[in-house]
């Protein structure tokens, strides 16, 4: 057990008193500035020491008084403060010793009363929290325990004795070896800390307990005592195993999702490809034989199949976002340049202007971040006003521990009531004939930003333009 | 004698679906006139338009899809509930959807404006049952 200052000083007092008994009056206990009662005892002990030194000079004259003093000293050592020394007028030196000793006694009594008061408080608190306290004498293998200790193990009241052996009998056989190993280690390190299952004596139910203890070493460095607490953690363990179960379920669902991606990429695509191919074949070989209605039917089939291919592909992309997780240092300027290169045709056609400068380098999932910029930039162009040259402004600024990006356009804007729907998968705000797309782009963006522990939102005025914001922390927990 | 409705309004964003449904209604021969709207907003616009004679279209039956851009089926029902009596008339709204989500069915039950909930595809049999039940 680590000794605190108070313990150190009490040890000094006890040592000093022991020295007096051996008639060594040479030492003085250092007085500290702390006013906690112990200081007064130390002063008393020091007075006693001084008086004793003087006393030895004229010892012979006051034999009776001195004997009395020597008798009281051992009593103080066992915390019996019942006897007070009578002061005599005859001899100053012996009197001085008696005064010193009486001071020691009084102050020790006060201190012990106060300690008992705080001990009581601790006892009530521990009991209320259903925490059992114990003090294990390792040499004799006996244990003092607080009132509820043995109840934790299914006994009505505390047993006459409690030993390590009795404790180990309660531990279920499967856990015994491990617990013993931890005890053996604790005797060396002085630290005991474990959870194990016990079988209660009364109803034979299995409970989880948690025990923590600190060793107290003698001067040879051997752990001779240990103080600690024990409590029942069965309920905590219950919710822990539930959490474990939940996470196992989640892992399973994730695996299923991955399988679904596989199914989507192969099994669903196959019949769709057949549909598309054969409607193309009909168009090539039988178009001239079909009337208008027949041609319309074929168009419905092939358009639907092509649309379905797009949906399946997008869904697949959505599911695999973040599957291959490796963070790397990404230059956002470079990403934006690349994205714009890919969109050259559209940009030329729409005569769009892009404004961006000094975008940051940051640790991110490169592929995904690129897709994020690509989606947001292509949206900014896609939802442009017919008669206005698009201007897209991309900025980034530091905001605490994060980067705040914005992509601002002068496009058609978004109606207030639709803002909440924007990031929902496959949600489209416009008729297909007006604006193409499956409605997955912004769902992608949301998933990518969330993969980076960030958030995405938009502010928009209909007819004026939209600004998409996303915030990504500089430090991402993979 | 077969009951014949004056006008049926189809609200669906999928051209193919509208085409097929129109065909089925024509085959069943239960309507004089069929109008198509590609989303809830278009449908509301249609219902709110007065003819030269000062009459609203007041279709007898609306077949309503749930998932649509611009204004979806739910939003349509909300807006429809606030229309003037003259615009609403005695319209029967049937939700017609591909949704297998039981929550959608439950949600539909909460709207007094929605008379029925049917799954796609629409068939002549389903159509005749709707007519039998509501007209």
State whether CATH 3.30.420.40 applies to domain B30-134. no
**A429 and A303 assigned to the same domain:** no
**A122 and A133 assigned to the same domain:** no
* Nearest residue, CB atoms, A431 vs list B16, B19, B38: B38
pLDDT in tens, A310-366: 888 888 888 778 776 788 999 999 999 999 999 998 899 999 999 998 899 999 998
Q: What is the DSSP string of A389-454?
A: --EEEEEEEEETTEEEEEEE--SS---GGGGGGTTSTT--SS-TTTS---S-HHHHHHHHHHHTT-
Q: Which residue of A has its CA nearest to B20?
A: A297
Q: What is the mean pLDDT of residues B92-114?
A: 86
Cβ atoms of residues A192 and A183 within 8 Å? yes
**A254 and A148 assigned to the same domain:** no
Q: Nearest C-alpha of chain B: how many angstroms from A319? A: 21
How many domains in chain A? 4
CA A99 – CA A102 distance, rounded (Å)? 5
Q: Which whole-number Å values give the CA distances from A471 to A361, B73, B75, in the listed order?
A: 14, 34, 32
Q: What percent of chain B has pLDDT over 70?
A: 99
Residue B38: list chain A partners with CB under 8 A.
431, 433
**A294 and A253 assigned to the same domain:** yes
Interface test with A, best of B22, B38, B44, B70 (most A CBs within 10 A): B70
**A220 and A207 assigned to the same domain:** yes
**A181 and A113 assigned to the same domain:** no
CA A360 – CA B87 distance, rounded (Å)? 57
Q: What is the pLDDT of residue A3?
A: 41
Q: Which residue of B has its CA nearest to A435?
A: B69
Q: What is the mean pLDDT of residues A184-211?
A: 91
Q: What is the pLDDT of residue A447?
A: 92
**A219 and A356 assigned to the same domain:** no
Residue B19: list chain A partners with CB under 8 A.
296, 300
Report the DSSP beta bridge partners of residue A405: A396, A470
Q: How high does pLDDT run on average in chain A? A: 85
Q: What is the DSSP string of A4-22?
A: -HHHHHHHHHHHHHHHHHT
pLDDT in tens, A304-324: 899 888 888 888 888 778 776
pLDDT in tens, A415-474: 988 888 899 888 888 888 888 888 889 999 999 999 999 999 999 999 999 999 999 998
Residue A303: list chain B partners with CB under 8 A.
16
Classify residue A88: in a domain, yes or no: yes
Please compute Rg for chain B using Cα positions. 14
Q: What is the pLDDT of residue B11?
A: 95
CA A458 – CA A408 distance, rounded (Å)? 10
Q: Which residue of A has its CA nearest to B39?
A: A431
Whether B69 and A432 lie within 8 Å, measured CB to CB: yes
Say whether pLDDT at B22 is over 80: yes
Classify residue A478: in a domain, yes or no: no
Classify residue A191: in a domain, yes or no: yes
pLDDT in tens, A368-399: 999 999 999 999 999 999 999 999 999 999 99
Domain end marker among A126, A152, A167: A126
Instruction: Count CB neighbours of A460 within 10 A.
Output: 20
**A250 and A171 assigned to the same domain:** no
Domain end marker among A232, A258, A282: A232
- No. of H helices and E strands in chain B? 6, 5
Write the burial class of residue A158 (CB in 10 Å: 0-12 exposed, 13-18 middle, 19+ buried). Answer: middle
Classify residue A186: in a domain, yes or no: yes
CATH number for the domain harbouring residue A159: 3.30.450.20
Q: What is the pLDDT of residue A65?
A: 65
Q: What is the pLDDT of residue A64?
A: 65
A289 DSSP assignment = G
> Residue A217 is part of which domain span?
129-232
CA B43 – CA B25 distance, rounded (Å)? 18
CA A134 – CA A375 distance, rounded (Å)? 64
**A202 and A313 assigned to the same domain:** no
Q: What percent of chain A has pLDDT over 70?
A: 90
pLDDT band at B101 (very low <50, low <70, confident <90, very high): confident
Q: Nearest C-alpha of chain B: how many angstroms from A300? A: 6
Parallel/antiparallel/unpaired status of strands A402-408 and A361-364: unpaired
Q: Which residue of B has its CA nearest to A437?
A: B69
**A348 and A468 assigned to the same domain:** yes
Cβ atoms of residues A374 and A342 within 8 Å? yes
Whether B39 and A296 lie within 8 Å, measured CB to CB: no
**A175 and A298 assigned to the same domain:** no
Angle at A295 between CA A291 and CA A296, to 5 degrees: 115
User: Can you tell me the ipTM of this complex?
Assistant: 0.74
Write the burial class of residue A439 (CB in 10 Å: 0-12 exposed, 13-18 middle, 19+ buried). Answer: buried
Classify residue A35: in a domain, yes or no: yes
Q: Nearest C-alpha of chain A: how many angstroms from B135? A: 33
- Measured in whole angstroms, how far is the alpha carbon of residue A397 from the centre of its chain? 31
Domain spans of chain B? 30-134
**A222 and A254 assigned to the same domain:** no
Q: What is the mean pLDDT of residues A91-116?
A: 75
Asked if B69 is an interface residue toward chain A (Cβ–Cβ < 8 A), one would say yes
**Candidate from A63-67, A172-176, A435-439 with smallest mean pLDDT:** A63-67
Say whether pLDDT at A2 is over 60: no
């Amino acid at each position: 057990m680590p000794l605190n200052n108070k313990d150190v000083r009490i040890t000094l007092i006890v040592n000093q008193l022991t020295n007096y008994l051996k008639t060594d009056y040479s030492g003085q206990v250092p007085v500290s500035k702390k006013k906690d009662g112990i200081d007064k005892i130390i002063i008393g002990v020091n007075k006693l020491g001084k008086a004793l030194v003087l006393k030895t000079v004229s010892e012979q004259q006051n034999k009776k008084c001195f004997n009395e003093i020597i008798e009281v000293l051992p009593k103080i050592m066992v915390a019996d403060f019942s006897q007070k020394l009578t002061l005599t007028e005859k001899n100053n030196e012996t009197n001085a010793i008696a005064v010193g000793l009486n001071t020691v006694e009084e102050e020790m009594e006060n201190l012990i009363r106060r300690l008992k008061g705080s001990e009581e408080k601790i006892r009530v608190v521990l009991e209320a929290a259903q925490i059992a306290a114990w003090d294990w004498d390792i040499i004799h293998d006996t244990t003092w325990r607080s009132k509820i200790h043995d109840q934790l193990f299914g006994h009505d009241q505390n047993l006459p004795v409690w030993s390590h052996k009795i404790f180990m009998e309660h531990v279920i056989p499967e856990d015994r070896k491990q617990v013993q190993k931890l005890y053996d280690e604790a005797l060396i390190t002085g630290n005991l800390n474990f959870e194990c299952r016990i079988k209660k004596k009364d109803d034979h139910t299995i409970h989880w307990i948690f025990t923590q203890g600190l060793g107290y070493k003698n001067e040879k460095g051997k752990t001779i005592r240990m103080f600690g607490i024990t409590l029942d953690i069965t309920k905590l363990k219950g919710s822990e195993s539930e959490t474990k179960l939940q996470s196992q379920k989640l892992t399973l669902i994730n695996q299923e999702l991955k399988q679904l991606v596989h199914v989507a990429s192969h099994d669903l695509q196959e019949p769709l490809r057949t549909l598309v191919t054969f409607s193309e074949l009909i168009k090539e070989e039988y178009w001239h034989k079909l009337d208008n209605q027949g041609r319309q039917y074929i168009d419905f089939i092939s358009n639907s199949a092509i649309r379905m291919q797009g949906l399946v592909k997008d869904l697949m992309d959505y599911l695999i976002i973040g599957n291959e997780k490796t963070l790397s240092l990404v230059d956002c300027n470079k990403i934006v340049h690349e994205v714009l290169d890919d969109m050259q045709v559209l940009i030329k056609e729409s005569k769009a202007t892009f404004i961006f400068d000094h975008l940051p380098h940051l640790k991110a999932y490169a592929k995904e971040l690129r897709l994020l910029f690509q989606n947001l930039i292509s949206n900014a162009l896609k939802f442009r006003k017919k008669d206005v040259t698009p201007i897209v402004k991309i900025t980034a600024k530091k905001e605490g521990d994060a980067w705040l990006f914005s992509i601002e356009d002068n496009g058609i804007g978004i109606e207030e009531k639709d803002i909440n729907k924007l990031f929902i998968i496959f949600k489209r705000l416009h008729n297909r004939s007006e604006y193409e797309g499956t409605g997955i782009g912004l769902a992608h963006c949301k998933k990518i930003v969330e993969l980076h522990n960030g958030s995405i939102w938009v502010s928009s005025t209909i007819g004026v333009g939209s600004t998409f914001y996303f915030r990504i922390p500089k430090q991402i927990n993979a | 004698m077969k009951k014949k409705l004056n006008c049926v309004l189809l609200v669906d964003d999928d051209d193919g679906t509208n085409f097929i449904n129109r065909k089925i209604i024509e085959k069943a021969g239960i309507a004089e006139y069929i109008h198509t709207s590609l989303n809830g907003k278009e449908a509301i616009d249609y219902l709110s338009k007065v003819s030269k004679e000062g009459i609203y279209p007041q279709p007898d039956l609306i077949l309503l899809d749930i998932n649509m851009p611009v204004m979806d089926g739910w939003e349509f029902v909300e807006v429809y509930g606030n229309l003037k009596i003259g615009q609403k008339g005695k319209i029967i709204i049937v939700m017609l959807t591909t949704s297998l989500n039981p929550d959608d069915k439950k949600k539909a039950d909460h709207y007094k404006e929605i008379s029925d909930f049917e799954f796609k595809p629409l068939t002549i049999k389903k159509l005749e049952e709707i007519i039998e039940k509501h007209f």
